[in-house]
Amino acid sequence: MQNGLVRRRQRLVDLRRTGGCLIGHLGAATALLSCWAVASAALAADAGGPARQTAVETSSPDRAMAVKNLAYTTNQNSETVSIVGLGGRTAPMSVLAEIKVPGKPAGIALSPDRKTIYVTAPEAKELVVIDASSRKIRTRIPAGQGPLGIAVNPVTGAILVADWYEHKLRVIDPATLQLTAEVATGKSPSGIAITRDGKLILTADRDSNQVSIIDAATLQVTAAVPVGDRPFGITVDAAGTRAYTANVRSDDVSVVDIPSARTIATYKVGRRPYAVALASGKAFVTDQYAGTVTVVDLSSGKTIKSIPVGEHPEGIEADASGRHLYVACWMENTLERIDSTTLKVTGKVEVGDGPRAFGAFLDAAGQDAARASPKDAH
């Protein structure tokens, strides 16, 4: 296992020396998907590391809770989606199943009723639609030249896909899976966020260093807000008044006031921030190159702590209670749980190879179940 870890680290060092295009955040936009393929091929050759945890069917209450309390991680190198039971009072986190998804899956979102999983497959240039109950692929549809970020409107259920290469947002009808509209954004849109009332859509336009604010009803861009250098992940607060972008080149987070359409604050974080999650009055930012999650107090704007996690943390999301956050660590092949109060890692599980979990990957029923387990200490 140790030798395998050393090999993975050396491959990451070698890829960074080629210009940091491992994840397409530092190289030219035209190199994005090819760099993913290079990284995937290099890491897939490594068979080291501990064996995957698998589901064990029991009738215990904790196992039942684990089955309801789910996360889905897109694993780019193994081309799978891992279904993870998040555990209960005594049950540990565990991988319940894996779904094969060719095409280097990256972005992920769930339908409002949590019955459907939507995954972007950039290499295949497709949107993959998965039935959450049967855990089988229903269909795959074309989704432009570079589908990456994805989100679902919580009110209408409309599927929103960011096309990195064609610099636009694609709107797809969830019932027919037909393309209904395209919206021109800034260059290389990456992350997508939507206000809870479903009225506003925001895209992080990486190569334009801006956030596009889009009216969900008219699909018109109402503002383009300058932010930090190379915004990638974007998150909107529960009130729908603030947006937070992880800026991978300037190593900071921009705070956008949505009503006034302007950046009102900037927080310095760790190296190559990827995504932001909000919980308990704090922002949690994954720092890819630092192997940490930076915690910022939202009232003061000051850094509280840098939490060590697995190598190359990427996707992160808080559960509905705000008590736990889950972070996918790309080089470590783990999904890790952070307690938002103690700011400590309280659980982890090995998932597929190269987890990104870029988007909303937690099952809502599972988040509700988490609230019923205040003593979960695993």
Of 87-91, 112-116, 220-224, 288-292, least confident by mean pLDDT is 87-91
Q: How many CB atoms are closer than 10 A to CB 300?
A: 9
DSSP bridge pairs for 210: 205, 226
Q: Report phi then psi at 64, rounded to 5.
A: -60, -40
In this prediction, residue 87 carries a pLDDT of 84
Residue 249: CB partners within 8 Å, gap ≥ 6? 25, 26, 228, 229, 230
Residue 272 has pLDDT above 90, yes or no: yes
Determine the Cα–Cα distance for residues 248 and 102; give it in Å rounded to an integer.
Answer: 27
pLDDT in tens, 89-136: 678 999 999 999 999 999 999 999 999 999 999 999 999 999 999 999
- Name the band, by pLDDT with cuts 50, 70 and 90, for residue 320: confident
The three-state (H, E, C) secondary structure of 297-328, written as one string: ECCCCCEEEEEECCCCEEEEEECCCCCEEEEE
| Residue scoring higher pLDDT (96 or 27) | 96
* Kind and range of the H or E run holding 131: strand 126-131
